[in-house]
Amino acid sequence: MDQPDLATQMAELGARATAAAAVLAQTSGAQRAAAVSAMAAALRAAAPAILTANDADMARAADLSSALRDRLKLTPERLEGVAKGLDEIAALPDPLGTVLEEWQQPNGLQFQKVRVPLGVIGIIYESRPNVTADAGALCVKSGNAVILRGGSDSFASSGAILTALRAGLKQAGLPEDAVQAVPTPDRAAVGVLLTMTETLDVVIPRGGKSLIARVAAESRVPVLKHLDGNCHTYIHAAADLEKARKLVLNAKLRRTGVCGATESLLFDAETVPTLAAPVLKDLLDAGCEVRGDAALQALDARILPATEEDWGTEYLEAIVSAKVVHGVGEAVAHINRYGSHHTEAIVTEDAAAAETFLNGIDSAIVLHNASTQFADGGEFGFGAEIGISTGKLHVRGPVGAQHLTSIKYLVRGNGTVRAG
Amino acid sequence: MDQPDLATQMAELGARATAAAAVLAQTSGAQRAAAVSAMAAALRAAAPAILTANDADMARAADLSSALRDRLKLTPERLEGVAKGLDEIAALPDPLGTVLEEWQQPNGLQFQKVRVPLGVIGIIYESRPNVTADAGALCVKSGNAVILRGGSDSFASSGAILTALRAGLKQAGLPEDAVQAVPTPDRAAVGVLLTMTETLDVVIPRGGKSLIARVAAESRVPVLKHLDGNCHTYIHAAADLEKARKLVLNAKLRRTGVCGATESLLFDAETVPTLAAPVLKDLLDAGCEVRGDAALQALDARILPATEEDWGTEYLEAIVSAKVVHGVGEAVAHINRYGSHHTEAIVTEDAAAAETFLNGIDSAIVLHNASTQFADGGEFGFGAEIGISTGKLHVRGPVGAQHLTSIKYLVRGNGTVRAG
C-alpha cells in the first residue's frame, strides 16, 4: 500500500495543473493553435515509440475480447488519423476571448460577457489510446489544463502519447503540465481524482455505463455526464415509406456500437401493415434481431417478444426493440419515459406532427426525417468532441472545444457607485 | 421516526413536480407571464393570512438574533415589495423558445439550438420568506417546476406564501404543483432532497457558508454553488484619489451584509501615503474596523494587525482587511489565491493596468472604477436573481430566469442518412 504516496503525488499533480491553467488562461488563440499543431507534429515524430508501447499493451491484453483489443490497437494508419484529428482541432476557431454580449446600463456602467477557460478538467476514460491525444488537444485548444486517467490496459500507449503531447507543448512554449496523466494505473487514483474539488473544475467520464455510474456516485467534483444513448426512431403514420426504410436501416445498422444508434422503433398502429411490415422485414433480412410487442410479432415469425426491460435497453448491437403506439402524443410520452434523453427521430411528411415531436421530446438532439446516427460533434460542425452530454447543465449534446469554457463579466465605470 | 413516511412523501412530491414540469415545458411565454402576474395578485389577496402566519413564526423566533428576526419579519410594505418583485418577473422577456443559433451543414441538414427549461429545480434557503415567492416566480417564468425548502423558522410564513402562489397558478390554468415545498421543517427532508437524482435536474442552495457546505458535501444532484463573496478592491498607483475614496466607502459600507461588499483592500506600495492613508482614514472615521499589514498599520494607530486568516475572510460586517502589493501582477496573484472568485475591482486611470487586471482575475465579475456592490442581477439588468454563482459550470455571476434553462438541438432533414 502506498496510499499516502499516491495522495501526495495527486496533490502535486493538481498543483502543477492549477499553475499551468493560470498560464494557459492568458495565452492567445494563435498560441494555443500553434501548440496543438506542435502536439500533432510531436505525435508523428514519436510514432515508433508509441507503437512499441502499444505492442507491450497488446501483449499484456491477450485475454481481452477482440472488441476491446481492437479498441486498444494502434497502427501507423490509426496514429496518423489521430494526428490529423489534432491538426483539425488546431484549425478550429478560437473558443475563447469572444465578447458574447455587450450592453450599457442607465448609470453608465459598460458590461461585457466574455468567454474564459474552465480551468482544470479531469477526463476519465477507457482503454482507447486515441482519447489521450483528442482530449489533451481539445483542452489545450480551449485554454484548460487537463488531468487524464485512461484505462489501465492502455497505460503504456497513453504514456507514450502523453510524452509526445508534452514535447509538443514545450516546443510551442506552453507549459508541459497543461496535459498530465495520473501516475499509476491503480484504480485508487480515480478515487482521489474525484475528491480534488480545489483543483478540478469539472470531471468528464467517457466510457461505458459502469464507469459513468461510478463517477456519478462518487464524485465530489461537478460531472459532465455522458450517459447511454437509448435512441428512438418513430415512424409516424404519415411517413414516406422509402425514407422510412432508408432512415431506419442507417439509424440502426450503419454502426451498431455508437451512442447515436437507434435502439428502439415506434410505429403508428394504423400503418403497421404498410410501414412497420416492410421496415422490419428490411432489418430482419439484414440480420438484425427484432424484439417486438404482440402486434408487431404477428408480422413475421422471426420477431421475438419484447419485455418491459427492452424499452429501456441500449443494445449497442444488431438488436432493436419495436412497439406500436397511437399517435405522436403516445410516442413522445413513451420516449420521455423510457429513453435516455440522448437522440430521437421522427419520420413523417406531416409538418405539424414533426413540430409536436420536436417540441415535446426532452432529449439533447431531436431529428425530423434524419438518422439518429448524426449524433456526433463532427456532423454538427463542432470539430472533434469529448462526447455527447445527456445532462442539462452547462452543455447538452455534443461537447466540443467551445463547450469546455465558462464566462466572466467585465464591468467598466468611471468612479461609479451604487445608490440606495 | 417517520423516515419511511418522509421518503414516500418526498417521492410523491417528486412525481408531482415531474408531471408539472412536463406541462410547463409546453406553455407559451404569455401563459407563464400571466401565471406569475396571477401569483402576485394572489399574494396581495392573501396578505392578511400571510401576516398572521408570520406573526406565529415571529412569536416562536423570540430567541433569534435581531438580524435573523429582521430577515424573518414581514410587514404589509415588505409583502407589497415582494408582490411588486413578482410583477417585474412577469414583465421580463420570455427566457424560453429563443433560437440561439441556426445553421445548415453541407448535407442539407438544418440545425437549430433552442432554449428549453431545465425541468425540476430544488431550492434550499434560510428563513427569508420572500425567497419563497421570488424563487417560485423565477422558476415558473423559466418553465421549471420547483421544490422549495426554506428555513424552519419561516415554515408558517413560507407555507402561507406557497398557498397563495399555488392559488395564482391554478387561477392562471397552470399546474399548482409547479411550485411545491417539502412537507416538513425537519432537516431530514434536505437529506432526502439531495438524493433525488431522478427528479431534480439541479439544486440551488442559497444562504450562509454552512448551508452551502452541507449541500456541496452531501448532494448527489448537481449543485449551482453560491459561495461566499470575499470581494477585493485594488487601489492601483494610478488611481484618482477622489474616485478611490468614493468607491471604497461605497464598496465596503453601502451595505456590509451583501455578498458584493468589499472585504479586502489592496494598495500599491509606492502610493501608500497619498492613496492608502486618506482612503483608510475615511473608513476609520466612518466606524469601519481596518486590519492591515505592517506597512499600513504604521499609518494610523486605529489600524489593527491582520493575520493570514484575514486575507481569506468574508466579514459581512464593518470590518476590512488591507494589504500593500507591488503592482497589478501581485494584486492579481493575491486575489486569485485568497479570493472566492466572486467580484473584484481595480481603481485606476491607467487603461493598460485595468486591462491586465480584468484579464488576469479569475472571478465571476471584474470591475474597473466601479463599486463591487454592483454584484447584483438587478444592477446587471437581469431582473430578480436567485443569487450569484461562483461556480464556473452552467452559470457564473448573477442567476436570473434566463439562466434556469438548458438547450436542445432540433435537426431537420429530408430522409438524410449518415455516410461512412
User: Quick one: which of A122, A126, A128 has its CA closest to A197?
Assistant: A122
- Residue located via cell numbers 494502434: A74
DSSP B266-307: EEEGGGIIIIIHHHHHHHHHTT-EEEE-HHHHTT-TTPEEP-
* Contact assignment for B410 to A358 by CB distance below 8 Å: yes
Collect all residues with Cβ–Cβ distance below 8 Å to B229 and sequence separation of at least 6. Answer: B258, B259, B260, B261, B263, B314, B340, B342, B343, B375, B388, B390
φ and ψ of A267, to 5 deg = -130, 140
pLDDT at residue B339, as a whole number? 95
Q: B261-285: per-residue pLDDT in tens?
A: 999 999 999 999 999 999 999 999 9
**Strands A179-181 and A397-399, how do they pair?**
unpaired
Residues 213-232 of A with CB under 8 A from B: 216-217, 220, 222-224
Report percent pLDDT > 90 for chain A.
Answer: 87
Our CA-based measurement puts residue A111 at a distance from the nearest CA of chain B, in whole angstroms, of 8
Nearest CA in chain A to B412: A368
Name the residue among B336, B397, B407 with its Cβ closest to that of A409.
Answer: B397
Q: Chain A: nearest CA to B187, how far in angstroms?
A: 22
Domains B9-223+396-411 and B231-379 share a fold: no
Rounded distance between C-alpha atoms, residue A176 and residue A157, angstroms? 18
Is the pLDDT score of A72 beyond 70? yes
Max intra-chain CA distance, chain A: 81
User: Are the beta carbons of B141 and B383 closer than 8 angstroms?
Assistant: no
φ, ψ for residue B73, nearest 5 deg:
-70, 130
Chain B partners of A212 at a C-beta cutoff of 8 Å? Answer: none
Three-class SS state of A111: strand
Which residues of B, range 355-394, sit inside 8 Å of A by Cβ? Answer: 358-360, 362-371, 373-374, 376, 379-381, 391-394
CA nearest neighbour of B186 among B393, B2, B395, B412: B2
Q: Which residue of A has its CA nearest to B248?
A: A417
Mean pLDDT of chain A: 95
> In sequence order, what are the residues at sequence separation of 6 or more whose Cβ sits closer than 8 angstroms to the Cβ of residue B138?
B89, B384, B386, B400, B401, B404
Which of B105, B201, B370 comes nearest A109 by C-beta? B370
The size of the A-B interface in CB pairs under 8 A is 197
Confidence band for B186, pLDDT divided at 50, 70 and 90: confident
Q: A7 touching B, CB under 8 A?
A: no
Residues in chain B: 420
With a cut of 70, say whether residue B133 has pLDDT above it.
yes
Whether the pLDDT of residue B108 is over 80: the answer is yes
d(C-alpha A105, C-alpha B28), whole Å:
29
- Predicted local confidence at residue A84, as pLDDT: 95
Asked if B418 contacts B108 with a C-beta cutoff of 8 angstroms, the reply is no
pLDDT at residue B2, rounded to an integer = 47
Rounded to 5 degrees, what angle do the CA atoms B317, B322, B328 make? 125
Does B334 contact chain A (CB < 8 Å)?
A: no
Architecture of the domain made up of A231-379? 3-Layer(aba) Sandwich (3.40)
Q: Residue A1's pLDDT is what? A: 47
The Cα–Cα gap between B215 and A159 comes to 37
Q: Selecting from 3.40.50.300, 3.40.605.10, 3.40.190.10, 3.40.50.150, what CATH number does the domain B9-223+396-411 have?
A: 3.40.605.10
Q: Is the pLDDT of residue B216 over 80?
A: yes
**Chain A stretch 160-179, residues whose beta carbon is closer than 8 A to a beta carbon of chain B:** none
Q: What is the CATH topology of the domain spanning A3-225+397-411?
A: Aldehyde Dehydrogenase; Chain A, domain 1 (3.40.605)
Give the type of residue at A266. L
Q: Please enumerate in sequence order all residues whose Cβ is within 8 A of that of B175, keeping only pairs 6 or more positions apart, or say none.
A: B19, B20, B23, B24, B145, B169
- CA–CA min distance B47, chain A (Å): 27
Q: Of A294, A356, A285, nearest to A327 (Cα)? A: A356
Q: Burial, B420: exposed, middle or buried (Cβ in 10 Å; 0-12, 13-18, 19+)?
A: exposed
Distance CA(A87)–CA(A34), nearest Å, equals 10
**What is the per-residue pLDDT across A14-45, written as a single tens digit (0 to 9) for each?**
999 999 999 999 999 999 999 999 999 999 99
Supply A232's cell numbers: 428512438
As a whole number of angstroms, the distance between CA B151 and CA B205 comes to 11
Contacts of A251 in chain B (CB under 8 A): 417
Q: Which residue has the cell 501507423?
A: A76
In angstroms, the CA B243 to CA A257 distance is 63
Instruction: Give the mean pLDDT of A286-290.
Output: 98
Beta strands in A52-172 (DSSP E): 99-104, 110-117, 120-125, 145-149
Domain ranges of chain B: 9-223+396-411, 231-379
Note the ipTM here: 0.93
Residue in B223, B392, B413 closest to A369 by CB? B413
Whether A226 has a pLDDT exceeding 80, the answer reads no
| The pLDDT value given to residue A196 | 96
Question: Does the pLDDT of residue A152 top 50, yes or no?
Answer: yes
The answer to whether the CB of B57 falls within 8 A of the CB of B106 is: no
Mean pLDDT value across residues B194-209: 91
